[in-house]
Amino acid sequence: MKNKRTWINNDDPTLGSTIFGVISLVGIVAFFVWLGIT
């Protein structure tokens, strides 16, 4: 599990989790918007 976050920031896993969470949230919103468009 730890290896997944290594590429973001090895020294600050909390920052990595936050960035991953934001990207996930944006991705989910974009997915629903795309569903609404098509």
The pLDDT, as a whole number, for residue 13 is 62
Examine the pLDDT at 32 and tell me if it is beyond 90.
yes
Q: Are 1 and 7 in contact (CB under 8 A)?
A: no
Enclosing domain of residue 33: 2-37
Cα 22 to Cα 17: distance, rounded to the nearest angstrom: 9
Examine the pLDDT at 12 and tell me if it is beyond 70.
no
The pLDDT, as a whole number, for residue 35 is 93
Average pLDDT of the chain to the nearest whole number = 76
Q: Where are the beta strands (DSSP E) in 1-38?
A: none
Q: Domain count of the chain?
A: 1
Cα 28 to Cα 33: distance, rounded to the nearest angstrom: 9
In the chain, what percentage of residues exceed pLDDT 70?
A: 61
Mind listing the pLDDT tens digit for each residue in 15-29?
A: 677 888 889 899 999
C-alpha angle with apex 23: 26 to 5, nearest 5 degrees? 165
